[in-house]
Amino acid sequence: MIFELKTAELKSIAQSKTDALVILVPNDFKASRDALSGLIQDVSQAANFQESAGKVVSLWKPAQVDVRRLVLVSCATSQPKHMRQAVAAALGALKATQPKQVTIQLPTAGHNALTAAMQAASDATYVYTATKPSAKPSGIKRVVLTLPTAQAVKDAKTEFAYAQALIAGVDKAKEWANLPANHATPSVLAKAAQSLARHSKIRCEVLGPKEIDKLGMGAFAAVSQGSAEPARFIVLHYQGAAKTKAPTVLVGKGITFDTGGISIKPAAGMDEMKFDMCGAASVLGTFEALAHLQPAINVVGLIPTCENMPSGTAIKPGDVVYSMDGQSIEILNTDAEGRLILCDALTYAKRFKPQAVIDIATLTGACVVSLGAVRSGLFSPSDDLAQALLKAGEASQDLCWRLPLDDEYAEGLKSNFADVANVAGRDGGAITAAKFLQRFVGDMNWAHLDIAGSAWKSGASKGATGRPVGLLLHYLVHQSSASPARKAA
């Protein structure tokens, strides 16, 4: 989709050449003497627009404008949440008519409002077509966003560029997460990462089973040994600053399909386990966005990727394996495999001496029970890092919530036969999983994002959400005041 940003007052926009005109109406809307303003005032009062954001009234060829379809939608305020709700509702109302060009009149370009509006437009028009020839792509090919003054447009250009980069990243994360597991094997995922190296400042290295074994990544290798698909360890580098500047490391869980292994999952809903690589997809999406923005930071992306399959060579409950840092791990449940591949990736991350390391994983069903689909689970022993990620989530509307890491939660991970077990009891499952990972972090400044509830939707709207690319990108571009996207949020 093509986005444009233009200047247009409400009076002049009535004569705009567009297939559909969407006007966001805030609670403090003040009507002028022109006919369109009067219509907006009458409709907003009759429809009780001030009650909430997202109320829609659609009009066909109204006399006040030179367009076939006019959509008036309440946006309450210019807060990103309200802007997102309003644009999503308006484009939902236009879905049946499929106009080629939509013009959206924004009341303001307030703090993150433009980004929220553009992201909502992109989400509302996204259609998965990669393996579905019968799917019809969205008919909306161009979205023109207008602001009332030339100064407002000038001030919003940096944020406009940021939003375009974010959309490119979120779309990439969605596409790779939505692909069926036979179309997104570890080898194919590695090729997707390598394709990012066509961008300046990005390079990619892919390690295979021999290199993984040589590194001593016994936990990672153990998960992959039941599958005919060879594991891959992907290392992405984005260098936008001097080599001496410590990078932020992103570690994305890349289980391209999770049967649960010998501890096999129930058949119902197992198709959704293609989404168990959404952490990896979010790293790919974040690097895509970085390629567009070119911020003055350094970022490393680590993606351990494999399948978790049951077979004669698969790991078994009771097996003991050794991690890259030499810890022995008793496998009590082969369906707790994500933490096994992540622990070796976290050990590998230490070589970069990062200023921060953030792992992203669809790790536990317990996190879904705790937080549902609204917020990702956030774990970190660092108050500063946790607060920075929480603020990034609020600003990007890609929300997270901090959960505890008390030492007592690790008691259930004790083993009679190894240094640590890979699972504890049911209680506090998201926390005990995080405590397992913490054992491999050392003194790194670390945070863990459990995105099991936020990374995809089930039911009629089944599909990947692209989260938490928004949160990660916002956090990253604020690590350097020299970033070109610094003013965007």
Residue 50 lies in a domain: yes
Lowest mean pLDDT among 16-20, 422-426, 451-455: 16-20
CATH code of the domain containing 213: 3.40.630.10
Residue 489 lies in a domain: no
Domain that holds residue 24: 2-150
pLDDT digits (tens, 9 = 90+) for 204-222: 999 999 999 999 999 999 9
Residue 158 lies in a domain: no
**Does pLDDT of 438 surpass 90?**
yes
Indicate if the alpha-carbon torsion angle 3, 395, 363, 427 is positive or negative. negative
**Does pLDDT of 486 surpass 60?**
no
**Does pLDDT of 60 surpass 70?**
yes
**Does pLDDT of 108 surpass 80?**
no
Between the alpha carbon of residue 145 and those of residues 47, 106, 114, the distances in Å are 24, 7, 9
At 483 the pLDDT is: 39
Contacts of 305 (CB under 8 A, 6+ apart): 186, 189, 190, 231, 232, 233, 234, 254, 255, 256, 277, 280, 341
The arithmetic mean of pLDDT across residues 426-450, rounded, is 97
Residue 66 lies in a domain: yes
Look at the chain and count its residues.
Answer: 489
**Does pLDDT of 365 surpass 50?**
yes
Percent of the chain at pLDDT exceeding 70: 98
Residue 112 lies in a domain: yes
pLDDT digits (tens, 9 = 90+) for 239-294: 999 999 999 999 999 999 999 999 999 999 999 999 999 999 999 999 999 999 99
Residue 156 lies in a domain: no
pLDDT grade for 106, boundaries at 50, 70 and 90: very high
Q: For this structure, is 339 an active site residue?
A: yes
Give the residue, 187 or 34, on which the prediction is more confident.
187
The arithmetic mean of pLDDT across residues 16-20, rounded, is 89
pLDDT grade for 367, boundaries at 50, 70 and 90: very high
**Residues linked to residue 379 through DSSP beta bridges, in sequence order:** 448
Q: What is the mean pLDDT of the chain?
A: 94
At 488 the pLDDT is: 39
The arithmetic mean of pLDDT across residues 357-364, rounded, is 98
At 487 the pLDDT is: 38
CATH code of the domain containing 65: 3.40.220.10
Give SS3 for 87: helix
423 and 295 fall within a common domain: yes
The torsion defined by the Cα of 69, 129, 224 and 333, in degrees rounded to 10, comes to 50
For residue 203, what is the DSSP state? E
pLDDT grade for 143, boundaries at 50, 70 and 90: very high
Give the residue, 67 or 481, on which the prediction is more confident.
67
Q: For this structure, is 201 an active site residue?
A: no
The arithmetic mean of pLDDT across residues 389-413, rounded, is 97
Give SS3 for 170: helix
234 and 294 fall within a common domain: yes
Which helix H or strand E contains 282, and what residues bound it? helix 278-293
Give the residue from 150, 185, 217 where a domain finishes: 150
**Does pLDDT of 366 surpass 80?**
yes
**Does pLDDT of 202 surpass 90?**
yes
pLDDT digits (tens, 9 = 90+) for 279-320: 999 999 999 999 999 999 999 999 999 999 999 999 999 999
Residue 161 lies in a domain: no
122 and 228 fall within a common domain: no
At 109 the pLDDT is: 67
At 6 the pLDDT is: 94
198 and 65 fall within a common domain: no
Percent of the chain at pLDDT exceeding 90: 87
Indicate if the alpha-carbon torsion angle 32, 38, 42, 44 is positive or negative. negative
Beta strands 376-379 and 400-402, pairing class: parallel
Select which of 81, 141, 265, 457 is catalytic: 265
pLDDT grade for 480, boundaries at 50, 70 and 90: low
Select which of 69, 172, 339, 375 is catalytic: 339
For residue 127, what is the DSSP state? -
Residue 270 lies in a domain: yes
Chain center to CA of 338:
18
> Total domain count for the chain?
2
Give the residue from 135, 150, 165 where a domain finishes: 150
359 and 225 fall within a common domain: yes
